[in-house]
Structure 1
Amino acid sequence: MTEKRQGGDRAGFLAAGAILTGCLGFILYGVLGTESATQAEQQKKPTAAVTYQITGEGNVDVSYLAHSEQGKAAVEKDIKLPWKKTVQVPLGKPPTISIVLDGKGGQARCTLAIRGTHVQSATASGTHGRATCSGELPAPPSTNADESTN
C-alpha cells in the first residue's frame, strides 16, 4: 500500500506542476498580450506619409517626427548628405524636421512634403548652422459614437 501512495503523491505533484505551469502561461500571455494589443491599437491611428529630405554639403544631426515612435522625435547623428526619409506621422501631430550642421560647417537645405506635396523648406549654413521645417496635418477623424448616430 505504501507503493500506491508514493505513486499517488507523484501524480499529485505532476498535476499540481501542470496546473501551475498553465497558470504562469496565462499570466505571461496576459502581460504580453496586453502590450501587443496596446501596440496594435497605436498602429491603427490614422497617419499621413511625410517625406523629409536634406540636400547640401557637410554632415548634419537630424531630428524628425515619425509614427514608429508614436509621434515622438527620432534622432540620427552625423548624417552625410544627401539624406531622404519617408515616414508615417499620426494625424494631428505636426510633422517637423530639424537639422544642425557639424563643427566643419557647410550648407544644407531641409524640405518637408506631406502626401507628396511640398510644404516648406529652410536653409542652414556655417558652423553649427540650424534649420527647421514643419507642417500641419489634419486632426484624426472623430470616433465619437454620438456623432455617428445622427
Structure 2
Amino acid sequence: MREENEHESTGGSPVRRGLLIAGVALLACLGLVAYGTLGTDDRPKPSAAPTAEVTYEVTGTGTAEISYLARGEDGATVVEKDVELPWTKSVQAPVGKAPAVAIVLDGKGGQASCTLTIRKKHIQRATAMGAFGRATCTGEAQAAQQG
C-alpha cells in the first residue's frame, strides 16, 4: 500500500492553493470595479455655489482681533486673533451671503479702520477707537451682471 502524501490529500501543492486564492481575490476585485463603474449614475455633479471676490482691509497700528466671511457654501466666519496691523485679505465669498469684516482692538486701544471691497468696488469703511474699540463693515455680494 502506498501512503498518501500530506499535500495530495489536501487538494494540491501550496503553490496551487496560493494561485487559487490569488485568482479568487482577483475576480472579487474585478467584480467590485465593474460594479462601481456600471452602477454609477451619470447625473451631473452639483455646481459650486457662485462666489464673488471680496477684499477685507484693516489699517491702523497695533493688534486687533479680525473676523471675516470666507469661502464656502455656508459662508463660514474666520477669526484671526492678535493680528498685527495693517492687514489685508482677499477671498471668494458666496453670493447671497453678506460679506463682513469686524475688528476689535486690544486693551491698549488706538485707532483702526476696516474697509470692504466687493469685485474691486469700495462698499464700506468704518473706524474703531480706544481700548477694545469695535467696527464692522458689511455689504451684499450680488451675482455678476451678464452683458
Shorter-chain TM band: 0.7 to 0.9
CA offsets, 1:38-80, max 9 Å, x none?
A: xx856x3211111100001220111101115751111111111
Letter in 2 for 1:88: Q
2:109 maps to which of 101, 105, 111: 105
Normalising by structure 2, we get a TM-score of 0.73
Letter in 1 for 2:12: R
2:26 paired with 1:12: no
Paired residues of 1:92 and 1:140 also in contact (CA < 8 A): no
2:86 paired with 1:82: yes
1:15-34 superposed matches below 5 A: 15-19=23-27
Normalising by structure 1, we get a TM-score of 0.71
Distance verdict in 2 for CA 1:24–1:74, change over 3 Å? farther
Distance verdict in 2 for CA 1:23–1:102, change over 3 Å? farther
CA offsets, 1:14-34, max 9 Å, x none?
A: 1233355667889xx9xxxxx
SS at match of 1:15: helix
Paired residues of 2:58 and 2:86 also in contact (CA < 8 A): yes
Distance verdict in 2 for CA 1:65–1:41, change over 3 Å? farther
Paired residues of 2:72 and 2:94 also in contact (CA < 8 A): no
Letter in 2 for 1:13: I
Structure with higher Rg: it is 2
Please report the RMSD computed on the Cα atoms of aligned residues, expressed in angstroms.
3.2
Paired residues of 2:114 and 2:137 also in contact (CA < 8 A): yes
Match for residue 55 of structure 2? 51
2:127 paired with 1:119: no
Size of the aligned set, in residue pairs, is 130
Runs of 4+ in 1 over 3 A off after TM superposition: 16-26
Distance in 2 separating the partners of 1:23 and 1:9: 21
Distance in 2 separating the partners of 1:106 and 1:50: 26
Structure 2, unmatched stretches of 5+, are 1-6, 37-44
Distance in 1 separating the partners of 2:105 and 2:139: 22
